[in-house]
Chain A
């Protein structure tokens, strides 16, 4: 086996793929990423202490912010989609994949203390341990891609792309859903971990 380190070829092909989609120009995608990185770093939810700290029930900033974000976002998104300013992008209910994947993902997240979105932010601020995690993630991506033809069998059955809002079918539901998540965010303990700087 050999590693494909043709970075120029990688970017040429990747830019080409982005141009063929209608999901924004490169600069806009990078800008969305920058804003995501700024928000995550500024709130410091990209730290082991905040994420693994929640797994140890020591601090609750991560679930509070996550539930609060989803609560607000869900209400706005519902009406944006209804008025035609956005579209649904629903992932299928692959029962086996969701359950087995969710278990492996969460075990890894408790140990690494980060996930695929927050991990790169932690790397960007100098966490060498998370860089080891990112290398593990890249290898996992390759291994998964290689094994995919065999893994497909355990990922099903595919139960379609349902949303709760569509199942209920009334506008009031989105307010119940969104407000409930916002209330949960406020009810979770406000206990936080004292922030310290890690060592080399």
Chain B
């Protein structure tokens, strides 16, 4: 019987195994990352792939594009067949409880949030995958600085942006 949910312990072990495989010379011989892939696609969308930064991220960005295609496939099939959570929806329950009940507001803020996440990740040179998972697992000082700043600001923003806490 396949469990419908995975706890943080089995989830963490599986994610560590995947990270080892990806790093190993038998796997991809590189870290896991996601934000460069999104920036790469964004640069293409605006025809900027031959600009200075477009060339700078071409290798990582192309790799992460296929990684993200896999992520979409894996997430979709798991949500349909294992966790049975696939559903079109806009308002997360916790947003309704601590922000508002307006789908338009949620869509607007999601757009703003998504913009900040990718813009910030590109300034920092990585995101949760690149700096946290891959960076901190190598004890990289850059990943630890990013992780420290991000956790503190995440908690402050959560405190200030949401209500009824």
Write the residues of chain A forming the contact surface with B, with a CB cutoff of 8 angstroms: 1-5, 10, 13-15, 17-18, 20-24, 26, 28-49, 52-58, 61, 63-66, 68-70, 72-74, 76-78, 80-81, 84-95, 97-130, 132-146, 148-149, 151, 155, 159, 161-167, 173-174, 177, 185, 193, 196-200
Question: Roughly how many angstroms separate A18 CA and B40 CA in the complex, as a whole number?
Answer: 13
A-B interface, 6 closest residue pairs, ranked by CB to CB distance from nearest: A33-B70, A141-B42, A37-B74, A55-B158, A108-B116, A101-B124
Residues on A with C-beta less than 8 A from B89 are 126-129, 197-200
Contact across chains for B117 and A4 when beta carbons are under 8 A apart: no
Contact across chains for A148 and B118 when beta carbons are under 8 A apart: no
Give the interface centre of B29, B51, B88, B113 by most chain A CB atoms within 10 Å: B113
CB of B100 closer than 8 Å to a CB of A: no
Please name 12 further chain A to chain B contacts, defined as beta carbons within 8 Å, in addition to the given A29-B28, A108-B112, A111-B110, sorted by A numbering. Answer: A24-B28, A65-B12, A70-B132, A90-B142, A98-B124, A103-B149, A105-B121, A112-B113, A117-B71, A120-B71, A133-B111, A144-B119
Q: Is the interface of B mostly helix, strand, loop or mixed?
A: helix
A101-B121, A133-B114 known; A117-B34 Cβ under 8 A: yes
Closest to B13 in A: A72
Number of interface residues of B (CB under 8 A): 136
The one of A54, A116, A149 that contacts B38, using a Cβ cutoff of 8 Å: A116
Residues on A with C-beta less than 8 A from B141 are 93, 159, 162-164, 167
Contact across chains for A35 and B74 when beta carbons are under 8 A apart: yes
